């Protein structure tokens, strides 16, 4: 006998409770503290802040803990929180030239004013598992220079004097705000940079990498990579000049890229730019590569590779959007699937009748796996369909935590459950 | 997090979650959408505490129109008890404390994914659709820049070509859901992934229909009493799905049926996708 | 302000807080919006938008004031016709909504006008082919607060005696067959302008017509025809 199952709410609650249990893990182990996450998984915290577009290490650490370390989920949590915050002020543009540098390297000059500063980095470590970390132990304090590094000039500025590199000029225009208004393509560079800055690191890395392998090659050099603390300032009515409201750590990358010049313009280096909250060096390098490749049209280069197509790159860079839409395939699609099924059966009946390849009845009783194979044809013309009869993830928890309901699709159960 | 903590999670947010400025932005866009039926109005979609693709567009619209006296119904696949419908309904119960219902006729606002209720909607009701990909031309032309111009020039020939290719290949138009419509003889519109079975209900409806695509940041509308025509050809007129059997639970022959697999021997049955409709019919019989 | 003299109260400066705020920022504006949504969805249907304690003798209608409070904020740009720009209105709008008052009508999201200003329609925006939504919405004041006999529906006769009206037949989306609205003959130029919408569609002007506490909406999708005298008496 067929019974329609009610009680989705209970199943959802049970699933969440189980998830919380999983997150906590073995109760014999001490529970991880948000402060520990913040202090000891700092690069994960930084990545979450960058992709969530919210600088708050404490909340990013909380999001990481709540998400059991799932970075994309943590980004989503922080992003959703960010949306609810009132906007009290806009900062004046950060002055990265005035950064209190803790790391600063250039691959284009052996020595630069201010010097090369390796700073804290995994570069040049030998990637051997350090079994010493299995044991608790003291970590020696870092060796630091006697004098803290003062603000040092940006390397690319040294090319400015000769006119060897294009000038970036602030046209004073109010930047578009991608968090408030929907982007209307094509978008300007400032908007592109905003979208890249919150883009998924893995995605930007792959796209940047593709340009190095010839899909829109633009001959990059790391002109300068720096990270350190910059002051955040806001204008307040009644005060002369901006007020500093605090300091944040950021990473910046300026790529120097080739440019052939044109009839009107002497050959000149061009720039790709990357900036991110926290210590996010890989992200900023990838961002700079992609920023530069998205300038192809502006610089008169042929647009022929994925990383050069702004709408393609930007519309798919946001991992909160991407993971949401991919994961929505877990939601029920019974109705659409049923629509496809009905058509497919009809087409197969007609096909059979035409070709005499089998009676309509034989086709009608075709097995499910045959339908799956056949479905691929129709989904090609209707890509939205979700030809999946797999269980939504909630169902597994539903069945175990509420053993009386069957582990079938959440809305209906089979007679075995009754 | 245990379930008792759930309610406190929602404290501190504005009525219906969105802040008033966001609601006003969406409301202004909705008025434009109603004034230009079928045109996709860009809006500054916000992150919702649900994933994109799970109804954030519909939820933002619902949050922007919902008032304390509204009665809300939420359906997914026609059913009130599917997990995502339950989740969204619970969300609005917690953030707006509105009355909810499963009865189509009792609701003033109905948020839906993939279905239009079987029972004809009435004047004053608002149906809010969750839309994944609002652009009907997207699978023919992936670039937004291009499709925007195609709409501007009313350049819809490609859509007919695509549908006709189906006919050439299969003998039928192979689009079975998200079947494109033309609104008031101007805009080609994606009615969201409702089965084409539901398309006729869009035409000259008594109710206002609002469509929200959160990830794509577009919203659009069909006012009541608006002509909505499913695209077709003279020699291949638009037709809807039909079943050989009635609903096994209520005997309805006029509703969209879900197929339910009942055993591993190929056994299956067909039942109404609209649970409220089915329930009512069974109560009437009883 | 050449037409201020037409009003019974001489021009005087009201302070922003003399103008009423919404009873409640969340629920009152939601109710007003739903009325506006309903009005826009069903062109020509009359909606009553009372706003309590409107200042006496102002040139604005309470329905227009309610519309502004419900829809405008920091992100909105508003243009105000000269004859309405009195009673401290601009300052009051900035104070209550944060909307920016602009001097070029084509930059405005909303234009606050009267039938008089529609004699020579200000240079408002109809949107573009690719973004027809980027148009100016007209908020029209046909009769100020307190100048209508409330029982007479929309808007018909001002208090100082019935003025001739003209009937307009509306049809299109939101209207099952057709709907006739009677408007003061002064609205002739406005209605003729709105009647052109259909030819420019999807570009065009959406209008919210207000009189005292009443409003109707006429979106650009509406077809507008003059009801001829013979039809009237039929």
Q: What is the mean pLDDT of each run of 10 residues along chain C (234 residues)?
A: 43 84 94 98 94 90 96 96 94 95 96 92 95 98 74 47 80 96 90 95 97 95 87 52
B83 neighbors A410 (Cβ within 8 angstroms): yes
Rounded distance between C-alpha atoms, residue B163 and residue B174, angstroms? 7
Cβ–Cβ under 8 Å, residues B213 and B190: no
pLDDT of residue B8: 64
**Phi/psi-derived region of residue B141, left when phi > 0, alpha when psi is between -120 and 50, beta in every other case:** beta
Residue C37 to residue B66, Cβ atoms within 8 A: no
Whether B237 is covered by a domain: the verdict is: no
ipTM of the prediction: 0.95
CB contact under 8 A, B266 and A367: yes
pLDDT of residue C6: 42
Beta-carbon-side half-sphere exposure of residue A390 (alpha carbons within 13 Å):
10
From the list C26, C31, C34, the residue facing B20 with the nearest CB is C26
The domain locations on chain C are: 15-146+199-220
CA dist B75 and B89 (Å) reads 9
Structure letter (DSSP) for residue B36 = S
Q: Strand B41-42's sheet: what is its strand order?
A: B41-42, B218-222, B208-213, B126-130, B109-113, B71-76, B99-100
Rounded distance, CA A300 to CA C19, Å? 57
**Min Cα separation B244/chain C (Å):** 35
- Select the residue of B86, B165, B178 nearest A12 (Cβ to Cβ): B86
Residue carrying structure tokens 């406190």: B8
String of DSSP letters for B204-266: T-SSEEEEEETTTTEEEEE-SS--EEE--BTTB-------SS--TTT--SSS-EEEEE-STTS
Q: For helices A71-83 and A42-52, give the axis angle rounded to 10 degrees.
A: 50
Q: Please tell me which residue of chain A has the smallest CA distance to B14.
A: A84
When scoring C28, C37, C98, C199 by the number of chain B Cβ atoms within 10 A, the one with the most, hence best to mutate, is: C37
Residue identified by tokens 């560079």 is A189
B166/A5 Cβ within 8 A: no
Number of domain units in chain B: 2
| Nearest chain C CA: its distance from B31 CA (Å) | 6
Q: Go through A326-362 and write b for each residue having 16 or more CB atoms within 10 A of its CB, e for each that does not.
A: ebbebbbbbbbbbbbbbbbbbbbbeebeeeeebeeee
User: What is the distance in angstroms between the Cα of A57 and the nearest Cα belonging to chain B?
Assistant: 20
CB contact under 8 A, B133 and A384: yes
Distance between the two ends of chain B, CA-based, in angstroms? 43
Q: Which of A184, A323, A382 sits opposite B51 (nearest CB)?
A: A323
Tell me the torsion sign for CA atoms C30, C31, C37, C41. positive
- The shortest CB-CB distance from C27 to any of B29, B37, B67 is to B67
Spell out where B10-106 has E strands.
41-42, 71-76, 99-100
A7 and B2: CB-CB below 8 Å? no
Residue B235 lies inside a defined structural domain of this protein: no
Distance CA A406, CA A102 (A): 58
**A114 in Cβ contact with A249 (< 8 Å):** no
Q: Are A253 and A273 in contact (CB under 8 A)?
A: yes
**Cis omega (within 30 of 0) for bond into A186:** yes
Q: Which of residues 221-240 of B touch A (CB under 8 A)?
A: none
Closest CA of chain C from B130, distance in Å: 19
CA pair distance B147, B157, nearest whole angstrom? 12
Nearest CA-CA distance, residue A335 and chain B, Å: 6
* Residue B81 with chain A: CB contacts under 8 Å: 4-8, 411
In angstroms, the CA C209 to CA C44 distance is: 9
- What is the number of other CB atoms lying within 10 angstroms of the CB of residue C15? 11
What per-residue confidence (pLDDT) applies to A387? 37
| Predicted local distance difference test score (pLDDT) of residue C160 | 45
- Chain A CB within 8 Å of residue B124 CB: no
Burial of B51 (0-12, 13-18, 19+ CB in 10 A): buried
B275, two tokens = 């649970």
Strands across the sheet containing C223-226: C179-184, C165-171, C223-226
Residue holding tokens 């700079």? A288
Q: Which of A326, A329, A411 to mutate to test the interface with B (most CBs of B within 10 A)?
A: A411
Which sequence positions of B are flagged as catalytic? 38, 247, 250, 272, 278
**Pairs of CB atoms within 8 A across A/B:** 189
Q: What is the pLDDT along chain B (286 residues), one digit of tens a residue?
A: 334 445 567 777 899 999 999 999 999 999 999 999 999 999 998 889 999 999 999 999 999 999 999 999 999 999 999 889 999 999 999 999 999 999 999 999 999 999 999 999 999 999 999 999 999 999 999 999 999 999 999 999 999 999 999 898 888 898 999 999 999 999 999 999 999 999 999 999 999 999 999 999 999 999 999 999 999 999 999 999 888 899 999 999 999 999 999 888 888 999 999 999 999 999 987 6
Give the best residue of B21, B83, B118, B258 to mutate against chain A (max A CB count within 10 A). B83
**Residue B284, burial from CB neighbour count under 10 angstroms (0-12, 13-18, 19+):** exposed
Distance CA C139, CA C68 (A): 9
- B42:C133 CB<8 A: yes
Question: Could you tell me if B198 and B158 lie in one domain?
Answer: yes
User: Strand, coil or helix: what is A104?
Assistant: strand
Give all chains having 3 or more CB-to-CB distances under 8 Å with chain A. Answer: B
Q: Which chains touch C (3 or more CB pairs under 8 A)?
A: B
Chain B residues close to C132, C-beta within 8 Å: 36, 39
Q: Do B83 and A394 touch (CB under 8 A)?
A: yes
pLDDT given at position A390? 38
Same domain, yes or no: B124 and B259: no
**Do B150 and B272 fall within a single domain?**
no
How do residues A254-312 score in pLDDT, each as one tens digit?
Answer: 999 987 677 777 888 999 999 999 999 999 999 999 999 999 999 889 999 999 999 99
B248 touches chain A (CB under 8 A): yes
pLDDT of residue A181: 87
C-beta atoms of B176 and A20 within 8 A: no
Question: B63-89 burial, b for 16+ CB within 10 Å, e for fewer?
Answer: bbbbbeebebbbbbbbbbbbbbbbbbb
Give which of A12, A54, A70, A338 to mutate to test B binding, by max B Cβ within 10 Å. A338
Residue C158 confidence (pLDDT)? 45
Cα A99 off chain centre by: 25
Residue B179 has a pLDDT of 96
CB atoms within 10 A of CB C28: 18
Token couple for A162 = 């000769």
Q: How far apart are CA A175 and CA A154, in angstroms?
A: 23
Contacts of B153 in chain C (CB under 8 A): 129
- C221·B35 Cβ contact <8 A: yes
Q: What is the CA radius of gyration of chain C?
A: 17
Q: For residue A86, give how far its alpha carbon lies from the nearest alpha carbon of chain B (Å).
A: 9
Considering only CB atoms, which chain C residues are within 8 Å of B223? 40-42, 173-174, 221
At residue B74, what are phi and psi to the nearest 5 degrees?
A: -125, 125
Q: What are the helix and strand counts (H, E) for chain A?
A: 15, 6
Q: Which domain holds residue B283?
A: 242-286
Low-confidence ranges of chain A (pLDDT < 70): 1-7, 145-150, 260, 356-418
Q: Comparing C-alpha atoms, which of B175, B179, B192 is closest to residue B40?
A: B192
What letter does residue C136 receive in the DSSP assignment? P
**CB C137 to CB B31 under 8 A?**
yes
Nearest-Cα residue of chain C relative to residue B108: C34
Separation in Å, CA of C177 to nearest CA in chain B: 9
Nearest CA in chain A to B165: A381
Closest partner CB to B172 (pick from A332, A336, A347): A347
- How far are the Cα atoms of A107, A120, A155, A373 from residue A111, in angstroms, in the given order? 9, 19, 10, 62
CB atoms near residue A324 (< 10 Å)? 22
Q: Taking CB atoms and an 8 Å cutoff, what residues of chain B touch C73?
A: 21, 24
Which of B1, B47, B77 is nearest residue A335 as measured by Cβ atoms?
Answer: B77
Residue B225 sits in the same domain as residue B259: no
Helix-helix angle A71-83:A57-66, to 10 degrees: 130
pLDDT at position C148: 64
**Of residues B27, B37, B42, nearest to C33 (C-beta):** B27
Q: What is the DSSP string of A109-121?
A: -SS-TT--B--S-
Claim to verify: residue B153 and residue B114 sit in the same structural domain: yes
Which pLDDT score, from 0 to 100, does residue A394 have?
37
Does an H or E element contain A47, and which?
helix A42-52
Alpha-carbon gap: B143 to the closest alpha carbon of chain A (Å):
7
Half-sphere exposure of C92 (CA within 13 A, CB side): 24
Q: What SS3 class is residue A50?
A: helix
How is residue A40 written in tokens? 């000891």
Instruction: Answer yes or no: do B262 and A12 touch at CB < 8 A.
Output: no
Phi, psi dihedral angles at A71 (to 5 degrees): -60, -45
Instruction: Specify the residue for token string 């404390």.
Output: B97
Q: Are B31 and C37 within 8 A, CB to CB?
A: yes
**How many DSSP H helices and E strands does chain C contain?**
6, 10
CA neighbor of A200 nearest in space, from A286, A328, A83: A286
Shared domain for B77 and B151, answered yes or no, is: yes
A45: which residues sit within 8 A by CB, 6+ positions away?
Answer: A37, A38, A57, A60, A61, A64, A278
Residues A317 and A392: their CA atoms lie apart, in Å, by 26
pLDDT of the residue at A149: 66
Measured CA to CA, the distance from residue B82 to residue B90 in angstroms comes to 12
Residue A271: strand pairing partners: A256
Say if the Cβ atoms of B174 and A343 lie within 8 Å: yes
B31: nearest CB among C36, C75, C202: C36
Alpha-carbon torsion (B170, B174, B180, B184), positive or negative = positive
Distance CA B113, CA B116 (A): 8
The CATH code belonging to domain C15-146+199-220 is: 3.40.50.11310
Q: Choose, out of A7, A10, A331, A377, the residue to mutate when testing the contact with B (most B CBs < 10 Å).
A: A331
SS3 percent helix, strand, coil of chain B, rounded to 5, is 30, 20, 50
| pLDDT value of position A188 | 94
Compute the distance between CA of residue A360 and CA of residue A371 in angstroms, rounded to an integer.
Answer: 15
Cα-based torsion angle of the residue sequence B245, B248, B250, B253 in order, rounded to the nearest 10 degrees: -10
Contact state of B19 with A86 under an 8 Å Cβ cutoff: yes
User: How near does any CA of chain B get to the CA of A271, in Å?
Assistant: 26
């Amino acid at each position: 006998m067929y019974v329609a199952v009610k009680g989705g709410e209970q199943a959802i609650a049970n699933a969440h409770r189980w998830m919380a249990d999983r997150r906590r893990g073995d109760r014999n182990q001490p529970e991880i503290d948000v402060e520990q996450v913040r202090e000891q998984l700092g690069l994960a915290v930084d990545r979450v802040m960058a992709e969530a577009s919210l600088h708050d290490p404490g909340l990013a650490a909380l999001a990481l803990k709540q998400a059991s370390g799932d970075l994309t989920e943590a980004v989503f949590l922080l992003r959703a929180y960010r949306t609810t915050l009132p906007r009290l002020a806009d900062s004046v543009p950060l002055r990265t030239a005035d950064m209190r540098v803790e790391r600063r390297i250039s691959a284009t000059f052996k020595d630069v004013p201010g010097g090369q500063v390796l700073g804290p980095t995994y570069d040049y470590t030998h990637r051997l598992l350090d079994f010493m970390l299995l044991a608790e132990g003291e970590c020696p304090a870092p060796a630091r220079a006697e004098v803290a590094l003062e603000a040092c000039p940006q390397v690319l500025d040294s090319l400015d004097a000769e006119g060897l590199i294009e000038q970036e000029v602030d046209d004073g225009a109010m930047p578009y705000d991608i968090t408030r208004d929907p982007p209307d393509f094509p978008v300007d560079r400032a908007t592109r940079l905003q979208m890249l800055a919150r883009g998924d690191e893995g995605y930007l890395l792959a796209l940047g990498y593709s340009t190095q392998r010839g899909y829109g090659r633009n001959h990059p050099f790391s002109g300068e990579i720096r990270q350190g603390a910059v002051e955040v300032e806001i204008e307040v009515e009644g005060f002369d000049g901006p007020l500093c409201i605090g300091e944040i750590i950021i990473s910046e990358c300026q790529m120097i890229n080739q440019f052939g010049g044109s009839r009107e313009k002497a050959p000149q280096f061009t720039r790709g730019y990357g900036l991110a909250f926290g210590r996010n060096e890989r992200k900023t390098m990838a961002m700079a590569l992609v920023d530069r490749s998205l300038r192809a049209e502006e610089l008169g280069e042929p647009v022929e590779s994925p990383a050069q197509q702004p709408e393609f790159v930007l519309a798919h860079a946001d991992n909160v959007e991407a993971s949401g839409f991919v994961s929505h395939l877990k939601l029920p699609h019974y109705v659409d699937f049923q629509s496809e099924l009905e058509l497919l059966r009809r087409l197969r009946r007609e096909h059979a009748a035409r070709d005499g390849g089998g009676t309509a009845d034989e086709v009608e009783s075709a097995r499910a796996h045959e339908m799956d194979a056949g479905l691929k044809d129709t989904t090609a013309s209707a890509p939205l369909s979700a030809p999946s009869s797999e269980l939504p993830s909630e169902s597994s928890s539903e069945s175990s935590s509420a053993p009386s309901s069957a582990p079938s699709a959440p809305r209906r159960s089979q007679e075995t459950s009754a | 997090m245990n379930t008792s903590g759930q309610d406190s999670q929602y404290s501190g947010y504005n009525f219906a979650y969105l802040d008033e400025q966001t609601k006003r932005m969406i409301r202004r866009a909705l008025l434009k959408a109603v004034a230009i039926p079928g045109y996709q109005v860009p809006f500054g979609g916000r992150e919702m505490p649900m994933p994109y693709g799970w109804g954030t567009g519909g939820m933002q619209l619902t949050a922007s129109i919902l008032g304390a006296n509204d009665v809300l119904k939420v359906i997914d696949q026609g059913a009130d008890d599917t997990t995502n419908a339950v989740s969204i309904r619970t969300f609005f119960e917690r953030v707006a404390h509105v009355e909810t219902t499963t009865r189509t006729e009792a609701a003033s606002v109905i948020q839906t994914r993939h279905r239009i209720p079987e029972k004809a909607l009435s004047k004053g009701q608002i149906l809010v659709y969750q839309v994944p990909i609002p652009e009907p031309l997207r699978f023919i032309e992936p670039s937004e820049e291009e499709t925007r111009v195609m709409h501007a020039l009313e350049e819809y020939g490609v859509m007919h070509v695509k549908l006709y290719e189906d006919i050439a290949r299969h003998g039928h138009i192979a689009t079975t859901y998200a079947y494109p419509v033309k609104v008031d003889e101007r805009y080609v519109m994606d009615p969201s992934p409702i089965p084409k079975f539901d398309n006729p209900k869009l035409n000259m409806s008594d109710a206002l229909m609002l469509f929200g695509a959160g990830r794509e940041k577009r919203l659009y509308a069909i006012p009541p009493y608006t002509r909505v025509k499913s695209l077709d050809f003279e020699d291949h007129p638009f037709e809807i799905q039909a079943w050989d059997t009635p609903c096994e639970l209520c005997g309805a022959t006029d509703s969209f049926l879900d197929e339910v697999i009942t055993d591993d021997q190929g056994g299956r049955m067909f039942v109404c996708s609209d649970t409220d409709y089915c329930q009512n019919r069974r109560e009437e019989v009883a | 302000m050449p037409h201020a003299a037409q009003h019974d109260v001489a021009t005087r400066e009201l302070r922003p807080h003399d103008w009423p705020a919404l009873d409640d920022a969340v629920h009152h504006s939601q109710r007003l919006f739903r009325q506006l949504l309903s009005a826009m969805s069903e062109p020509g249907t009359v909606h009553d938008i009372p706003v309590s304690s409107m200042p006496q003798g102002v040139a604005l209608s309470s329905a227009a004031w309610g519309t502004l409070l419900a829809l405008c904020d920091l992100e909105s740009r508003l243009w105000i016709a000269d004859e309405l720009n009195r009673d401290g209105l601009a300052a009051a709008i900035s104070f209550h909504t944060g909307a920016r008052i602009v001097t070029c009508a084509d930059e405005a999201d909303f234009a606050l006008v009267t039938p008089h200003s529609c004699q020579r329609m200000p240079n408002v925006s109809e949107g573009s082919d690719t973004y027809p939504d980027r148009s100016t919405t007209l908020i029209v004041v046909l009769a100020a607060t307190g100048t209508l006999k409330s029982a007479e529906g929309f808007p018909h006769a001002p208090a100082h005696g019935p003025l001739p009206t003209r009937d307009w037949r509306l049809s299109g989306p939101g209207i099952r067959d057709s709907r006739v609205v009677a408007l003061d003959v002064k609205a002739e130029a406005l209605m003729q302008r709105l009647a052109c919408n259909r030819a420019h569609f999807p570009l065009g002007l959406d209008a919210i017509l207000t009189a005292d506490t009443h409003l109707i909406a006429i979106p650009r999708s509406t077809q507008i025809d003059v009801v001829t005298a013979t039809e009237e008496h039929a």
